[in-house]
C-alpha cells in the first residue's frame, strides 16, 4: 500500500510542478514577445528592469547586473554595450571608485521600460490566479509530505 501511495504522490507532485512550470512559461513567453515587439532583445528588457528596479542606494554595476541576470561578466558587458549604443543605458563613473561604472537607465530606456512594465502588470493580473493556484498546490504538497515525515 505504501508503494501505491508513493507512486500516486509522486505523480501528483509532478502534475503540480508541470502546471506551475506551464503557467510560469506562459508569462515568460509573453515577456519575451513583448520585449521583441518593443524593439528590445529579451535580455535587454531584463537588464533595464534590474537597473531601474534596484533597491535605493544600490550601486548598479556590471557585477550587480551580471548576478541579477545570471550571466557571466563578459556577457553582461556586451549586453550593456549594446544597450548603451541603442541609448537605453548610460554609464557614470562611481564617485567612490573611479574604475567602476554605475549603470543608469536613460530617458529612452525608461520610456520603453514604462510601456513594457504596464503590459507586464496587465498580463500578470490575468495569469496571477493560475500561477498562485499552481504554486499553492506545490507548496501544499511539500508541506503535507513534511508533516507525514515527522509523524
Domain count, the chain: 1
Cβ atoms 52, 70 nearer than 8 A:
no
Query: Which grid cell is 135?
Result: 504554486
Per the structure, the complete domain to which residue 138 belongs is given by 2-149
pLDDT tens-digit profile of 78-91?
A: 999 999 999 999 99
Query: Taking the mean position of all CA atoms in its chain, how far away is CA 38?
Result: 18
Whether 2 shows a pLDDT value over 50: the answer reads no
pLDDT tens-digit profile of 119-142?
A: 999 999 999 998 899 888 888 887
Which CATH number goes with the domain that contains 26? 1.10.10.10
The total number of residues shown for the chain amounts to 151
Cβ atoms 92, 102 nearer than 8 A:
yes
Query: Which grid cell is 30?
Result: 509573453
Whether the model pTM is above 0.75: yes
Amino acid at each position: 500500500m505504501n508503494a501505491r501511495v508513493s507512486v500516486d504522490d509522486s505523480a501528483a507532485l509532478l502534475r503540480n510542478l508541470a502546471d506551475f512550470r506551464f503557467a510560469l512559461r506562459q508569462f515568460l513567453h509573453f515577456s519575451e514577445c513583448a520585449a521583441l515587439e518593443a524593439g528590445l532583445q529579451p535580455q535587454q528588457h531584463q537588464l533595464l528592469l534590474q537597473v531601474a528596479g534596484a533597491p535605493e542606494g544600490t550601486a548598479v554595476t556590471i557585477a550587480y547586473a551580471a548576478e541579477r541576470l545570471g550571466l557571466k561578466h563578459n556577457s553582461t558587458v556586451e549586453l550593456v554595450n549594446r544597450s548603451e549604443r541603442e541609448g537605453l543605458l548610460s554609464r557614470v563613473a562611481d564617485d567612490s571608485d573611479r574604475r567602476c561604472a554605475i549603470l543608469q537607465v536613460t530617458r529612452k530606456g525608461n520610456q520603453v521600460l514604462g510601456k513594457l512594465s504596464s503590459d507586464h502588470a496587465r498580463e500578470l493580473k490575468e495569469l496571477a490566479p493560475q500561477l498562485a493556484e499552481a504554486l499553492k498546490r506545490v507548496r501544499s504538497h511539500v508541506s503535507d509530505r513534511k508533516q507525514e515525515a515527522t509523524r
